[in-house]
Structure 1
Amino acid sequence: MYVLKPVRQVRRPRVIPLGAGVVLRTLLALAILGFIALPVLAEPARLRLRGDVTAKGDVLMLGDLLEGAGAEAARHPLFRAPALGAFGTIQARRIAEAVARLGLGEIETGGRVQVAVQRAARRVGATEIEAAIKRALESGYGLESRSLALRLDGESPVLLAPLDLDGQATAMDLTYDPRLKRVAALITLGDRQASLRVSGQIVEIREVVVLGRALNRGEAVTAADVAIERRPREATPADAQAGTANLFGQVALRTLSAGAVLRSGDVAPPDLVTRGEAVTLVFDSPGLNLSLRGLANESGKLGGMVGVTNPISKKVVTGTVIGPGRVSVGSAAPVRQASAALDPAR
């Protein structure tokens, strides 16, 4: 037998339609809130004073000095910029007065009383000036720029130019005195938009070999011992070594100090034969090869001529040094004579 449960009737909430009074009160509240918030939303952003600035042109615009300006207002000119490469200051009150005259309201200074302004500029220094003059001397006078150096008059002249003049510096109106080696020119950028007149002394330069360490007499020169440097010709010996060809392996003829310019008489090929040394005297020709011992009468380098004495016959022959302790003769007659003396049986 089933037990019947009572059916519960769910009552739906009664929806009361909004009356005209409720709607009016709601609209009135929203209007009041909008009226209060509208001035806050409509208030324009305040302009803020920038920190120290760099001017790229002749005139400082409003946007250069203030943040928060609109695109049109930012392009409004306010002050003239300092000269190229120079510094200047602008009082904050002057900026505020200029902004007020434009009707843009007050500015936030952040406690600053002035703004420092630097005018940006391209600086053409002594290196670029020297290069321009060398090019002009090479094209106009046929001088080799690599063998020249320039001592400019005065203290490091600098040509200041706007940043947009990014071309190569040019030497115009150049004059050169070959006797005095004096030069003068007008250094320009662009179509003479920036220029500077300079003068100086031309110095001839040459490459010389300089010792990196001290060498004792008889010590051989290696690649690690020397360096090539560019020196004024007038300050170097006329017989200074100009290159390292055939230099390595030669020996110092005297004690040489570090930093010295190596001269042609400072080093020489080593002696392969020493005076009083027992050497081998050789004669080579097609079908004939003779060799015998002798004593060198003098020291000799590779390719040098030395006299050799047969210690038995005391005969002297002259030959060419061909290697360590070896001397070659160019004729068989002296060798035969010396050979017979060494071998009595013959």
Structure 2
Amino acid sequence: MIAMRFRTATIVVLAGLGLAVPVMAAAEPVATSVLSHAVARGDILAATDFEAQPRPPGYAIGAIAPDVAAGREAARNLVAGAVVRAGDVVAPRLVRRGDPVTINLRSRGLVIATTGRALSAGGMGDLVRVVAQSTNRTFDATVEGSGAVHVPLP
């Protein structure tokens, strides 16, 4: 059994005779990358948004490095001093729900472009739902750039 509170851990060692002996062990703080300021949902993170602060070892579990988080979008509001984990960031959204988009339909050498509206959000390569303004038809399309999606034709 391990119970951690601040900088100490109580470890119960079970002896072969059925005895439980509590042992105290200190958990030294480690330098952990945390946010230097609050970040709003949808903001793009940069390596300069982070600073190293001493934290208990368990606090850093699952933390991602500042260079990994750089260029990614905050999936939710993040407070100053928070450790950023993989679930806190997503690929930057190039298409947002309700945004106008250019829908490119491609088949062999033929390309047809029309305008539409995004019904969901997505980053590069993500599958999103879009509706064409001219026909009011709904398509599954792949995000290929900022405000641009493509629908492959057979």
Residue in structure 2 matched with residue 223 of structure 1 by the alignment: 47
Scaled by the length of structure 1, the TM-score of the pair is 0.34
Q: RMSD of the alignment, in Å?
A: 3.0
Residue in structure 1 matched with residue 21 of structure 2 by the alignment: none
Q: Which amino acid in the other structure matches residue 127 of structure 2?
A: M
| CA displacement at 1:227 relative to structure 2 | 3.2
Give CA-to-partner distance per residue, 1:48-94, whole Å, 9 cap, x none.
xxxxxxxxxxxxxxxxxxxxxxxxxxxxxxxxxxxxxxxxxxxxxxx
| CA displacement at 1:279 relative to structure 2 | 0.6
| CA displacement at 1:229 relative to structure 2 | 5.3
Residue in structure 2 matched with residue 212 of structure 1 by the alignment: 36
Q: 1:331 to 1:241 in 2, by over 3 A?
A: farther
SS in 1 for 2:44: coil
Residue in structure 1 matched with residue 102 of structure 2 by the alignment: 280
Q: What is the rounded CA distance, in whole Å, between the counterparts of 1:216 and 1:242 in structure 2?
A: 18
Residue in structure 2 matched with residue 291 of structure 1 by the alignment: 113
Residue 152 of structure 2 corresponds to residue 326 of structure 1? no
Residue 25 of structure 2 corresponds to residue 201 of structure 1? yes
Sequence identity of aligned pairs in percent?
A: 33
Alignment: residue pair count:
135
Q: Which amino acid in the other structure matches residue 39 of structure 2?
A: L
8 Å CA contact retained: 2:37, 2:79: yes
8 Å CA contact retained: 1:208, 1:242: no
Structure with the largest fraction of strand: 2
Among 232, 248, 258, the residue aligned to 2:56: 232
Question: Which stretch shifts more, 205-214 or 241-250?
Answer: 205-214
| CA displacement at 1:271 relative to structure 2 | 1.8
| CA displacement at 1:232 relative to structure 2 | 3.2
8 Å CA contact retained: 2:64, 2:86: no
Q: What is the rounded CA distance, in whole Å, between the counterparts of 1:245 and 1:291 in structure 2?
A: 37
Gaps of 5+ in 1: 1-150, 152-177, 181-199, 333-346
Q: What is the rounded CA distance, in whole Å, between the counterparts of 1:207 and 1:305 in structure 2?
A: 39
8 Å CA contact retained: 2:130, 2:141: yes
SS in 2 for 1:260: coil
Residue in structure 2 matched with residue 242 of structure 1 by the alignment: 64
| CA displacement at 1:217 relative to structure 2 | 2.7
Residue in structure 2 matched with residue 261 of structure 1 by the alignment: 83
Q: Which amino acid in the other structure matches residue 223 of structure 1?
A: A
Q: What is the rounded CA distance, in whole Å, between the counterparts of 2:54 and 2:106 in structure 1?
A: 48
Q: Which amino acid in the other structure matches residue 57 of structure 2?
A: R
Residue in structure 2 matched with residue 316 of structure 1 by the alignment: 138
Q: What is the rounded CA distance, in whole Å, between the counterparts of 1:207 and 1:321 in structure 2?
A: 38
Relative contact order, CA 8 A, sep 6+: which one is greater?
2
Scaled by the length of structure 2, the TM-score of the pair is 0.69
Q: 1:328 to 1:230 in 2, by over 3 A?
A: farther
Q: How does 1:22-33 map to 2 (within 5 A)?
A: none
Gaps of 5+ in 2: 1-6, 14-23
SS in 2 for 1:308: strand
Q: 1:205 to 1:283 in 2, by over 3 A?
A: farther
| CA displacement at 1:284 relative to structure 2 | 4.0
8 Å CA contact retained: 1:208, 1:243: no
SS in 2 for 1:318: strand
Q: What is the rounded CA distance, in whole Å, between the counterparts of 1:243 and 1:269 in structure 2?
A: 15
| CA displacement at 1:230 relative to structure 2 | 6.2
